[in-house]
Amino acid sequence: MGSVRKQVENWNRQLYPVTFQGFVERVEQPVAAELLALSKQAKFADIVWSGADACMDDVWGTMTVAQLQQMLEDGGEDLPRLCYVRVEPELLACKVRVAELIDTLESALTHKVFRFRLVLQEAYRIGSQELKKALRVCDMVGSDRIAFEDCLGGFRPAGVENFMLWLAPKALAYELSTEFIFYSANIDAHDNALRAIEHGCNYLQVSAHFFNRDRCALAIGSVLESYGDYQRFFDLALLEKYICLRLFGGDEAFVEQEALQVTPAPAAVPEKVQMTPAIKNDTPVSLCFEVSDNDWHVRLLLKRGSQSVDLGERVHHYILLLLVREYHEQAMKAWEEGEKVDPLLTGWVERELLHRMIGDNETQFNVKLCRAKKQLNDAAKNLGLDVFEPCAYRQGALRINFGHVEVLKGNSCEIVIENWQIAESEPDEQAMAA
């Protein structure tokens, strides 16, 4: 029965086209060598550090053309061995500037063992003539890949499709692979990524997170859950381990100890549900719902360590409560059927179904959801967080984006979720007295 249900669920997901070759991890902060080794074991195609300095020989650096020229003027000793060179659209506007770009790249190639890939910034602004020049530059200096960055969110899904329909055959003629970088803060980033993959993009830069974070590349978790064959490119056990360790930050001793314990995923599925491990040195945010017996009153508290913010009773809290209950119900059903609960795939609810459950039309539902997000974001800032996104999104559906929840209904504990794991709730005092 369980396998049939899985198959039906997969009908709503896409399959990777044969043209797609894998994911490149984008690292916004330097990480320990042990973590980079785990990234490779998890099977990221490459690792890109967003800084210009050469942190390690097998990690790609990132710099602008101006930074590259300055390094060459300083003697070229600090050039990274592998580098993404970011090119502004204006540098492709005329023959003189294109010639200067070629001279700079060729000069870098003569200084040391140096491989590079062009990254066209604000790619949505680049016309077909500038694209042809960029392809020729790559061909002349021997680059194997060209990347396109959309940091300002200028692309829309239809625009990405048109872009790839023009680009894919020409890149193939030059024997160039293509790569895209979309940032999670942009509203269309997820749909843009899927459209790029569907129309021939070979690689996608992502951040090693389960859920999207502002100022980071699109989270790998938000992409994987859209595909029925999401295990194709990764050893998922090692990927999950790696993502969790990445969240530890600078605890090098812990990282070293954990890195030694990493082993390939066992063939058999464990009987016990295994969710995402707790993050020990990053105090998690938890939500506590206090619900009346008839569900008419929902009060919400946001907690982090010993601090808490009381958000009071609000109608819009009920949306989040329904999402928590849906995650709990789906996880429990999978557990009872002997299936492993995958946090990336659990708890999704279609938006249309959710606003029907609440009894609102789409406009009313969207207003309540926006109010819930704003109130939680404001409260999170009081707890020392820059941003808190309570929901994860995919096309036409959403789910909770927080792994620590407690729901108290009346005098009893209805739901306890600890780090995405369903915990047994403690019996209430009245029941014990009875």
Cβ atoms within 10 Å of 177's Cβ, excluding its own: 17
Q: How far apart are CA 287 and CA 404, in angstroms?
A: 7
pLDDT at 75 over 70: yes
Under the banding of pLDDT at 50, 70 and 90, the label for residue 192 is very high
Torsion of CA 20, 47, 180, 63, to 10 degrees: -150
Q: Are strands 61-64 and 203-206 parallel, antiparallel or unpaired?
A: unpaired
3-class SS of residue 296: coil
For 413-424, what is the mean pLDDT? 84
For 259-288, what is the mean pLDDT? 46
pLDDT at 28 over 60: yes
More confident residue, 21 or 363: 21
pLDDT tens digits, 119-152: 999 999 999 999 999 999 998 888 889 999 998 8
pLDDT at 158 over 90: yes
For 396-410, what is the mean pLDDT? 88
For 276-296, what is the mean pLDDT? 72
Cβ atoms within 10 Å of 7's Cβ, excluding its own: 10
Q: How far apart are CA 207 and CA 190, in angstroms?
A: 13
3-class SS of residue 40: helix
Under the banding of pLDDT at 50, 70 and 90, the label for residue 337 is confident
pLDDT at 403 over 90: no
Angstrom distances, CA of residue 28 to CA of 185, 259, 340: 15, 21, 32
Region of residue 139 (phi > 0: left; psi between -120 and 50: alpha; otherwise: beta): alpha
User: What is the DSSP code (8-state) at residue 308?
Assistant: E
> pLDDT value at position 272?
33
In 3D space, the residue among 257, 262, 376, 219 whose CA is nearest the CA of residue 312 turns out to be: 376
Interior angle at CA 88, CA 85 and CA 90, nearest 5: 140
The first and second tokens of residue 41, run together, are 């074991």
Interior angle at CA 328, CA 326 and CA 329, nearest 5: 65
Cβ atoms within 10 Å of 383's Cβ, excluding its own: 16
Q: Which residues have C-beta within 8 Å of that of residue 45, sequence separation ≥ 6?
A: 21, 22, 23, 24, 203, 233
Under the banding of pLDDT at 50, 70 and 90, the label for residue 112 is low
Under the banding of pLDDT at 50, 70 and 90, the label for residue 56 is low
In 3D space, the residue among 415, 392, 430 whose CA is nearest the CA of residue 289 turns out to be: 415
State the average pLDDT for the chain: 80
For 289-295, what is the mean pLDDT? 90
Under the banding of pLDDT at 50, 70 and 90, the label for residue 21 is very high
Q: Where do the DSSP E strands lie in 250-297?
A: 285-291
Superfamily of domain 15-248: Aldolase class I (3.20.20.70)
Q: How far apart are CA 57 and CA 64, in angstroms?
A: 19
Q: How far apart are CA 416 and CA 405, in angstroms?
A: 6
3-class SS of residue 82: strand
Region of residue 62 (phi > 0: left; psi between -120 and 50: alpha; otherwise: beta): beta
pLDDT tens digits, 339-377: 777 777 889 998 888 888 888 887 788 788 888 888 888
> pLDDT value at position 248?
53
Q: How far apart are CA 24 and CA 2, in angstroms?
A: 33
Q: Where in the chain is the domain with CATH 3.20.20.70?
A: 15-248
Residue 363: what are its φ and ψ, rounded to 5°?
-65, -45
